[in-house]
A and B are shown apart, each in its own frame.
Chain A
Amino acid sequence: MVGRPDEEADVVIRAIVRFLDQRTGTAPFLRKTLRYLFPDHWSFLLGEVALYAFVVLVGTGIYLTLFYEDSTAKVVYHGPYQPLQGQEMTHAYRSVLDLSTTVKAGLLIRQTHHWAANVFMAAIVLHLLRVFFTGAYRKPRELTYWIGLTMLVTSLLEGYLGYSLADDLLSGMGLAIGYAVAMSIPFVGANLAALIWGGPFPGSHDFFPRMYIVHVFLIPALLATLLAVHLALVALKHHTQFRQSRRESERKLVGVPTFPAQTPRSLGLFAAVVAVLFLLGGLVQINPIWLWGPYHTYSATNGAQPDWYLGWLIGALRIVPGFDVVIGNYTLVPNPFWGGALLPLVFFGFLYLWPWLERRFLGERGYHNLLDRPRDAPLRTAIGYAVATEVFLVFLAGSADRVDVLFGLPYIPQIWAYRVLVIVGPFIAALLAYRVCVELQRGERVERERSRAELAARSRA
């Protein structure tokens, strides 16, 4: 192909490039972009997966808005789905029910949207783990990291609002819990809840339309903006890399160019993500709201579980022992605050502050383009592992009721076990991680010395 380009294609490409360059002057930029280098490591694809899931979310989400009604006015159901015949429900729930039962391809798009949200969050969390444990957030990339964290927090809220909009029994319970957490904030809780809900739960008829506009416009616009800045920062400072050979260094980046090599790879990954999401959306049922039924404040279902990324919060709400902090008649800290607000606050506070903490207390001051392997920074790995273990234990605690039902392990002793584990677990995890890192380092040192000795012996011989 090289040296013998198709004459016609050649002419067209030249014409397009000339047209663009004459009107925008971007040919130098475009040429640089084509030859921008992507270091090659599978873990660098996690962020890309999140990006592609976001594209699917926007696409399927736009479709859903064309069918959704944001009204909580009541309607009596007379539709094709027999089990809910004659039941009183909101227009919001009814519209999602109709989309799922009567609109052709409606269920496919809705389920794909929901799956995409789950995959999106999973990809972000794995991406965050990669960035944390390899030290990719260090100078000069702290801004990229903070923006990424902000996208994670925003996406958690976005996902929660998304499944709350369906107004089925499960999502209504989720909203009630959100309301209780808002109420529990010391000094201002009830005021904040009254502001957001327009009065006591379930709130005024403005609440759903507001939630809707936040979910379909405000947060997506914010996410898209943050995403653009995040990617621009990555490109401006170039990607970090592992030292995979002698060629990679703090000054020299080794990778494949955007075009031609990286383009089919990235497009292929995009197609793979879309393929998985549509296959999941079509073949694996998710959130069958017709089975949950419409929400009423006085109804609840057993075995309620949120989407996975909020599992840690329900676990945290469940394992806190029953107490409010009260001074006289003033309730200083209502109980849901601990698990529903303080835990995420401390967790994200830690993540935001970490680059600063590392600089302040571990003397990390350098300018880094090369990544650490987790073993190269045992202290960071140990601390990160402790925090991750804590969140994972709390997450597991959220499934104690399912474990009770499935395996007959009684619920109350399980909760007591978790109450102990969340205190002891992180310390054990940290010690363990530290030991493993040190041992791995030592093993490598021994290996290096042996091969050096062998080499020396061979050259003597």
Chain B
Amino acid sequence: MGRARAFLVAAAVLLVGRRRKRRLRPGEREPIVAVPAPKSPDAELVAIGLLFAAAACGIAFVVIYVLDRLPAQTQLLGLALGLAFVFLTAALTVTAKWLVPNEELEDDYPEHEHPEEQERIAQVVEESGLTRRKLFALALGAAGGSIGLALLTPVASLGPALHLARFYLTPWRRGTRLVNEQGEPYRADEIEEGSFYTAFAEGADKEGLASSIVVVRLPRNELELPPENAGFDARGILAFSKICTHAGCAIALYRKPMFAPTDPQPALICPCHYSTFEPATGGKVIFGPAGRKLPMLPLTIDAQGFLRAKGNFDSPVGPSWWGVRMKKPTS
């Protein structure tokens, strides 16, 4: 292949060289383009046909756009425009292959460097005398640096970078009722085993990360709550922050074995990176990348049978940061 190509190139060069030697007639110019443009009326016809096809597709696009109530209008529009460019591509390919002279030329790469010019630049800077004024350079640096810093300072106004109290803040306090997405309070007897409920702090903004919780009910004899979560359940009903402590997605999966005695224990799972938390042990991580337990909310049942918080979460809500283990959540 390479050899055949080399041969062709050599032949082309020879041909060109021979043409050059021919004496020019008066009024004739030395050609710049090394090979003559091919004469191929067929290819030209094909290219013209393809260009008209492209034009027709362009018009079709406009027509489809104007016609209302076409089924699958998006698809037809895409097809028309796409085909217009397909025909254009084909026309240009024919042009490139058979209509323009395909010269392969040689050229010198640019020089690696210009040592004399480099030297001259250095000399000019030297002769300006500026490089010798040490203190001046220092002062210039100081001015530049401080002005740069000054100009960057307003960036700090973008957000409360130094006031992180809000990261510990939750809308939950002793007595806050659990409500559903429509704002109706949950009764304890609505919560069934094997299901998974999303609840919010009554009156709070539902979008706040600390507002939403998941509520599940487990048989009380299956609970193995650690001492620090003792009494967090209300007759087997447990509540956890709905926001995964790993990357802040919502816990949306509840794995509950349907037939005893299947192996995996009930677990709350985040669908983003599959952090898996065990409700029976107070939200311990049993698989996946989460680095700390799911925050648990202590529950109680009031005299009317409604679910209420018995206090705040046992740990801050949402993805971890450097201070997440330093303070308890605040109301």
Contact = CB atoms under 8 A, between A and B. Distances in A.
Contacts of A198: 158-160
Interface string B74-86: 1111110111111
A303 B272 CA distance: 8
Interface string A322-340: 1110100111101110011
Given A199-B166, A278-B78, A335-B289, A271 B159 contact: no
A280 B208 CA distance: 38
B164 A191 contact: yes
A283 interface: yes
Given A191-B161, A193-B321, A255 B105 contact: yes
Contacts of A244: 2, 5
B275 to A, nearest CB: 7
Interface string B97-115: 0011111111111101000
A202 B207 contact: yes
B324 interface: yes
Contacts of A317: 246-247, 272-273, 289
B208 A195 contact: no
B106 A254 contact: yes
Contacts of A247: 6, 9, 106
A62 to B, nearest CB: 17
Contacts of B92: 264-265, 267-268, 271
A179 B162 contact: no
A314 interface: yes
B1 to A, nearest CB: 9
B31 interface: yes
Given A194-B159, A200-B318, A334-B321, A261 B73 contact: no
B136 interface: no
A108 B208 contact: no
Given A300-B272, A317-B247, A334-B291, A194 B325 contact: no
Contact of B101 (A260, A271, A276): A260
B260 interface: no
Given A104-B73, A198-B160, A298 B206 contact: yes
A307 interface: no
A37 B89 contact: no
A186 interface: yes
A459 interface: no
A296 B200 CA distance: 13
10 contacts: A2-B33, A260-B101, A265-B92, A282-B82, A283-B75, A299-B252, A300-B250, A304-B249, A336-B289, A401-B271
A255 B2 CA distance: 15
A278 B76 CA distance: 11
A272 interface: yes
Nearest to B243: A297
A190 B78 CA distance: 45
Contact of A297 (B9, B82, B207, B288): B207
Given A237-B109, A300-B249, A318-B288, 5 more contacts: A196-B158, A245-B6, A252-B108, A265-B92, A304-B271
Interface residues of B, number: 96
A264 B37 CA distance: 14
B76 to A, nearest CB: 8
Contacts of A331: 291, 320-325
B89 A268 contact: yes
Contact of A301 (B85, B166, B271): B271
A252 B271 CA distance: 57
A268 B272 CA distance: 42
B198 interface: yes
Contacts of A274: 85
B163 interface: yes
Interface residues of A, number: 108
Interface string B57-71: 000000001000000
B322 A204 contact: no
Contacts of B102: 256, 261
B266 interface: no
B285 interface: yes
A244 B5 CA distance: 9
Contacts of B249: 173, 176-177, 300, 304
A268 B93 contact: yes
B91 to A, nearest CB: 8
A301 B253 CA distance: 9
A253 B106 contact: yes
B248 interface: yes
B70 to A, nearest CB: 10
B178 interface: no
B322 A245 contact: no
A177 B272 contact: yes
Interface in B220-277: 242-243, 246-253, 270-275
CB-based closest 5 A-B pairs? A282-B78, A324-B291, A268-B92, A275-B85, A279-B82
A169 to B, nearest CB: 10
A401 B274 contact: yes
B170 to A, nearest CB: 11
A199 B84 CA distance: 49
A217 interface: no
A300 B271 contact: yes
Contacts of B253: 302
A66 interface: no
Contacts of A323: 291
A199 B110 contact: no
Interface string B290-321: 11100000000000000000000000001111
Given A191-B161, A246-B6, A261-B102, A335 B107 contact: no
A236 B77 CA distance: 42
Contacts of A199: 159-160, 166
